[in-house]
Amino acid sequence: MRKPNVILINCDDLGYGDLGCYGSTRNQTPAIDSLADAGIRFTDFYMASPVCSPSRGAMLTGCYPPRINFDTFGEEQRWVLFPGMAEGLSPDEYTIANLFKDCGYKTKMVGKWHCGDQKEFSPVNYGFDSYYGLPYSNDMGRQVNRHEFPPLPLMRNAEVIQEQPDQTSLTERYTEEAVSFIRDAYENDEQYFLYFAHMYVHQPIYVPDSFLRRSRNGRYGAAVECIDWSLSVILKELKERNVLDDTLIIFTSDNGSRTSGEGGSNGILRGIKGQSWEGGMRVPFIASWPAVIEKGLESDKLVSSIDLLPTFAALLDQPLPSERKIDGIDQSNLLLNPDSESNRKTFFYYKMDRLEAVRFNEWKLHISKDMESERSLYDLSKDPGETHNVYDDFPKIAEKLHILAELCIEELGDAYTGVRGNARRPCGTVDTAEPLTFYDSDHPYIIAEYDLEGWG
C-alpha cells in the first residue's frame, strides 16, 4: 500500500448538524457531501475538549488536554490561550507534523494555530516546515468598543506580515496558500502533509458578499458554504493532477457549534460549544482516500481526535516515540476494513481541568457539571440527544463507569474533586511574554477596528 499524501481540514466551531451529509437543510455543502460519498462518514467522533486551544493541542499530540497541561491557562485559569500569554504547547511534545516530518514528508500549516503565540510556540517549532495564518481566534483583534486585544496578526512562519487583515478575504487567501503548497509538492515529487485550520465559523463572521447573497442561513450559512467552496478548489487541484486517489483527506471541527439557533446546529445532540454534553464535543468527521477506503460508508464506531496521531503512524509504518505516554489508539483498521471494530471502548469528557463525563461503548455517565455533582446515565445508541436519564435503572453499568472515571482522575486529575493527577506533563512557558502586535494610531490598517457584532 502506497503511503498517502494527507490533508487534515479542521473547522472552527462547526456543529454536528451544519453539513448536508449530517442532516442540514439550511447550508449547501455539495463538496463536503461528495467527500463523504467518496469515503467514510463517522457519526460518533469526538474532539478531546469543547473549546479550541485544548482541542487543538490534544489532536496534534494524541493526548487528553490534562496530560499535556493544556486544560486551563494563566493564573486566571482561562479556557483558552489569549494574546501575549506566557504559555503554549510544550516544545517537547511529539506532534502529527513531527511524525510526517520524520517520514520525509513536506509539511505545512494554514490557518488558526491557537497553541501559543510567542515565537517559541510557533508551528514551525512543532514539525511544520512553514506556516501561514492567525495565531489565535479571529475575535482576538481590536474591535469597536473592545480594545482589550492588540491588532490581529496574520503570520508567515514566526513573522507578523499584516495587522488587522480583512477577514472577508482570509479564507480565499488561505485556500490559495494551500493550493500553492500542494502544487509545489507535486511539481517537486514530494509527499506532503497539510493541516488546514479554517477560521470559519467562529465569530465574528465576515464573509464575501457573493456567499452572503446566496446563503439561505445568513452569515453563518455563508461561512459554511465558503468552507465548502474552499474544499471544492482543493479537490479540483487534486483531480487535475490525477492524485486524488492517493490523497487521504480528513474533514472535522474543533468543537461543536456555539449555538443551536441563530444559524448554527448541533443536530439532534444536546448542548453547545463549551459543554460536555454531546453537542459540545461530538463533531463531524469524514475520511476519504479513494484508492483505499470504500465509497459511501457510514460508521458508528467510537473514535476521537487523539487517535489521529497513532492512526497516521500505523498507516506510515512509523513507530511513535516510546518515552512519553499518549492516549490515542491506532484506528487504521477502521479505514482499511470498515467492518472491523473500534479499538477504543472508553472516552473521557474533560471540560477545562474537570472530568465531567465518561463513555464506555454505548453508555455515557455524567459525574459533574460546572463544579457541581451530576448523576445521569444515557444509552447513546438509543438516545444520542441525552434526553432520558437511566441512571437508576442500570446501577451496575453506572458503577462500572464510575470506576473508569476514578481511574482516569487518579492519572489525569479533576478540579471538582481536587485531585491533581499523577501523570500530567508540563506545558510550555516562557519567562517574558508580550503580544505580537501593539496598536499604532498612525498605522495604515486596512481594517482599523472590526465592527461586526454577534451574527450580523
* CB 367 within 8 Å of CB 374: yes
Whole-number Å distance between alpha carbons of 283 and 258: 12
* CB 431 within 8 Å of CB 371: no
* 428-432 contact pairs (CB < 8 A, 24+): 428/87, 428/88, 428/89, 428/90, 428/91, 428/92, 428/116, 428/120, 428/121, 429/86, 429/87, 429/88, 430/86, 430/88, 430/118, 430/120, 431/86, 432/86
* CB 331 within 8 Å of CB 305: no
What distances in angstroms separate CA 443 from CA 136, 264, 302, 446, one per listed residue? 22, 36, 50, 9
Whole-number Å distance between alpha carbons of 357 and 161: 42
Contacts of 391 (CB under 8 A, 6+ apart): 365, 375, 376, 377, 398
Nearest to 9 by CA among 305, 327, 307, 245: 305
* CB 265 within 8 Å of CB 283: no
Nearest to 409 by CA among 345, 343, 357: 357
- The one catalytic residue in 11, 21, 63, 114 is 114
Whole-number Å distance between alpha carbons of 19 and 29: 6
Whole-number Å distance between alpha carbons of 413 and 422: 7
443 is catalytic: no
402 is catalytic: no
Strands of 346-351's sheet in order across: 346-351, 354-360, 363-369, 372-379
What distances in angstroms separate CA 272 from CA 258, 276, 342, 351, one per listed residue? 5, 8, 26, 12
Whole-number Å distance between alpha carbons of 423 and 106: 33
Contacts of 311 (CB under 8 A, 6+ apart): 328, 330, 331, 332, 335
Whole-number Å distance between alpha carbons of 135 and 262: 27
Residues in the chain: 456
The residues carrying an active-site annotation are 52, 114
